[in-house]
Amino acid sequence: MAKYGFFLGCIMPLRYPGIESSSREVLGSLGIELVDMQGASCCPAPGVMRSFDQTYWMSVAARNLAIAEKMGVDIVTICNGCFDTLFEVAHKLNHDPELRKKINKILKDATGMEYNGTVNVRHFVELLYKDVGVEAIRAKAKGGKNLRAAVHYGCHFLKPSNIKKIDDAERPHVFDDIVEAAGMTSVPYKDKGTCCGAGGGVRARTPDVALKMTKENLTNMKSAGVDVIVDCCPFCHLQYDAGQVALKGEFAIPVLHLSQLLGLAFGLPKEKLGLEVHQTKVNL
Amino acid sequence: MDAKEPNPEFTRKVIEAGGKTVNLCFQCGTCTGSCPSGRQTAFRVRKLVRRAQLGFEEDVLPSEDLWLCTTCFTCYERCPRGVEIVDIIMALRNMAVRKGYMAEPHRKVAELISKTGHLVSLRDEDKALRSKLGLQATPPTVFSDPKALEEVKKIAAACGFDKLVQTGGK
């Protein structure tokens, strides 16, 4: 059984714990053992924290990487934001010895740890696609309903693609393939691949601007006649889920994180999915 | 009207702070045409990069536009000159907050992480729901480990992040 440090982040464990319970169940049932990273913190988020102070952003990220290194495991995350921070910082530290020295000095003084560059950071969609494979998912997804799904990749799963090298950033397919293996139809929609609007600190600072971007995406999804939005990031998830409430009844499209969708398809009891905290009602 | 003089000193600072590709931009506008935020607002990435190139510090650092980028990386992906636009914006934002251009909602988020190690709070209702789902009520993170939280706070102090957040950069 492949073993990974499960990086929790903030929004999943604290606002959508159903995504956490689904992820633990689904990944476990596919032969991926998740171990907790005791004492990990916020990644820190690439929006506000990187915007404020990149040295702080990299140092706290390096601490999270060092925790996994000490445990002797690679990291898996189910959040695009956490993935971006941990992946990008690991990449920077691996490719810039001077920077690594500077960040390790801060890290060692504060924690006694250093980061030596041995941890791979994995996004669970990429892990499912490459290591588990769509056929293994298809074999498990006996309870999958054939719903019309709007797949939302978000931004930081694939981009920047020059370092992440997971899939074509303009015309990706890995996430769609998994959703289809779970028995659904991934429906094309206008401007698919566009940001949900929340990132970069825009949701916190100018929520009206974020919501305009969300609304445009929702309009395009609705025009395509979808039954459900499927995301792979708790922050996009929050933006679509709470955003529809803020838009006061114009839309009522249920929002599922991929781990919840796979939970449904794998026949997990609904109580394990934590759908009752979703602000946009999930009737599926 | 007199034309403004370029200020290469500021451009150099942008480059040092991480915007090393800023001078590669030839102003084609692919970024602006790709920007989901610019589709809803008057934010124009091309202009922002031009102002950074020319070193127009007083146009760039106080600008609200600087904060309308969602860091979606679409412009970064499509730029025909390989300008790492998100890195430039991050460098400019780091400089802006140190001049006191820090919005209160952002300061509050940063304050939460500097005090708790997370950017979302742990409420009683979250613990109750976590227990109901069969999860550890308090996540096994800095929330469960005061020593770990101390480490994160020490990093904030070493970087001057705690002071930055307390003073709002002023």
pLDDT tens sequence across B110-168: 999 999 999 999 999 999 999 999 999 999 999 999 999 999 999 999 999 999 999 99
> Domain B8-98: which CATH class?
mainly alpha
> What are the structural domains, with CATH classification, of chain A?
2-123 (1.20.1050.140), 134-277 (3.40.50.11810)
Over chain A, what is the mean pLDDT? 97
Give the start-to-end residue ranges of the domains of chain B.
8-98, 104-167
Mutate to test the interface with A, among B120, B123, B127 (most CBs of A within 10 A): B120
Cα–Cα distance for residue pair B131/A225, rounded to 1 Å: 37
What does chain B come to in residues?
Answer: 170
Cα–Cα distance for residue pair A32/B76, rounded to 1 Å: 34
ipTM surpasses cut 0.90: yes
pLDDT band at B56 (very low <50, low <70, confident <90, very high): very high
Verify whether the Cβ–Cβ distance A15 to B37 is below 8 Å.
Answer: no
First to last CA, chain A: 32
Is B91 a residue whose pLDDT tops 90?
yes
Q: What is the average per-residue pLDDT within B75-98?
A: 98
* Tokens 């981009």 found at: A159
B125 and A CB contact within 8 Å:
no
Q: What is the average per-residue pLDDT within B39-47?
A: 98
Question: Which residues of A are less than 8 Å from B160 in CB distance?
Answer: 53
pLDDT band at B3 (very low <50, low <70, confident <90, very high): confident
Q: Which pLDDT belongs to residue B1?
A: 57
B16 and A CB contact within 8 Å:
no
Per-residue pLDDT of chain A (284 residues; tens, 9 = 90+): 799 999 999 999 999 999 999 999 999 999 999 999 999 999 999 999 999 999 999 999 999 999 999 999 999 999 999 999 999 999 999 999 999 999 999 999 999 999 999 999 999 999 999 999 999 999 999 988 899 999 999 999 999 999 999 999 999 999 999 999 999 999 999 999 999 999 999 999 999 999 999 999 999 999 999 999 999 999 999 999 999 999 998 999 999 999 999 999 999 999 999 999 999 999 88
Picking from B124, B134, B123, B120, the residue whose alpha carbon sits closest to that of residue A24 is: B134
B126 and A CB contact within 8 Å:
yes
Between chain A and chain B, the number of residue pairs with CB atoms below 8 A apart is 211
Is B95 a residue whose pLDDT tops 60?
yes
B67 and A CB contact within 8 Å:
yes
pTM equals 0.97
Q: Which pLDDT belongs to residue A263?
A: 97
Q: Which pLDDT belongs to residue A284?
A: 85
Exposed e or buried b per residue across B61-89, where buried means at least 16 C-beta atoms within 10 angstroms of its C-beta:
bebebbbbbbbbbbbbbebeeebbbbbbb
